A and B are shown apart, each in its own frame.
Chain A
Amino acid sequence: MPHSKPKQIIEINLPASLNFSSLLRSISGEVFKQARFPGAWCNRLKLVTDELFMNAVRYGSTPETSVIRIRFILEGDRVEFLISDDGTGTRKTTPEALQELISKNGKTQSIANTSGRGLAIIGQLWTDGLTVTKSELGGMTVGFVKTAEATPPPPLPEVDVSDILHADVPAIEFVFEQDINPDSIESIAAQVDEKIQTLSSGDTFILDFSRVTYINSLFIGRLAGWHNEVKKHHGVIAIKNANPQIKDVLNLVGLNKVICII
């Protein structure tokens, strides 16, 4: 009678620093290879673990101080990946709320329905589903399960175009007083978050981009998150005075379908 392979657990504690991204990718690649995943899937799952590590460092931890716990649980051709943070970062949501966002995204297939654009897409396409629970370190544990397969990933989801933008409704405006760069994004985002909390039901939230010359992927993720927050208030986001380059980026990632650009 054949013996099934015993469950193996690999646990690693890494400092909350993106300097360790490369090490984690290397370990992930090796683990999935050992679990007999085809090469293409090893590379895809390396990206998934990399994005989850980046989120845990950036939003769930205190950089250079916190520890991030990573676990691979191997059982036959199935691998479970879990990453836990201590919750001391800037992330304000609860595991339940984040899980709900991810589940909602699965139903609507909209890239704007989670705060991390890349994470939303790859979680949906390249794993058997992302889970979010409270971590033993005090923050969140985000995980996924994947069974070895040789099939290509499913086609990219269609962007949700069902949102109808409102007109002639009360508007609250936020003017970005300076350009947004990696150093300023957190403080600016906190101001926007605060403003969103003052919205009444059905308000339009207008972001004035007249002094913004460039947006990066971090900011795109924030925009998607703000869209979801404003939606909870039954309102919509509009962007005004965006330069052509920014409009092109918004079009490229599909945010123009859910955010009104005026």
Chain B
Amino acid sequence: MSELIRPEIIGNNTVVIHLSGEVDVNLLPDLESVTKPFIENQAITAFVLDCQHLEFIDSKIVGYIAYLRTTLTKGQRSLSIAAMNETINDILSLVGLNQIIPNFESPEQAMTNKTS
């Protein structure tokens, strides 16, 4: 499993997926493997993608984030993005994901918001 994708469970119901470096089509299987157990675990109600150290994503990762968003929303669960830089915001803007997925300055802010 790639060290560039690291899940962290916070409390009983939140998972923060820390993404680092360049996450592209080659790492899509890893991203799917990391997130799948949490998607299947209905006790996890909030997902946060921590992009603080993320430098690049390609269209395949954008597609997977879109899938995550729709899947989680259908189950009344949340997906948010934290600390994305201008490059990631640019790429997500291509399909409008930056407008429909709440984004915050830090994972902490994202978690505070989801409980408020």
Contacts and interface: CB of A to CB of B under 8 A. Distances in A.
Interface in A234-262: 244-245, 248-249, 252-253
Contacts of B64: 216-217
Contacts, number: 83
Interface in A100-141: 117-119, 121-122, 125
Nearest to B94: A121
> Of B69, B74, B90, B100, which is in contact with the most chain A CB atoms at under 10 Å from its CB?
B90
B63 A156 contact: no
Interface stretch (B10-18, B21-29, B44-52): B21-29
B90 A216 contact: no
Contact of A50 (B58, B87, B96): B58
> Of B24, B63, B66, B73, which is in contact with the most chain A CB atoms at under 10 Å from its CB?
B63
B67 A21 contact: no
B60 to A, nearest CB: 5
Interface string B30-53: 000000000000000000000000
Nearest to A246: B70
Contact of A216 (B67, B91, B94, B96): B67
Interface residues of A, number: 32
A82 to B, nearest CB: 20
B8 to A, nearest CB: 25
Nearest to A121: B94
18 contacts: A18-B24, A21-B25, A40-B86, A40-B90, A50-B58, A118-B58, A153-B90, A156-B96, A216-B60, A217-B63, A218-B60, A220-B63, A244-B74, A245-B67, A245-B71, A248-B70, A252-B70, A253-B95
Interface of A: 18-19, 21-22, 25, 40, 43-44, 46-47, 50-51, 54, 117-119, 121-122, 125, 153, 156, 214, 216-218, 220, 244-245, 248-249, 252-253
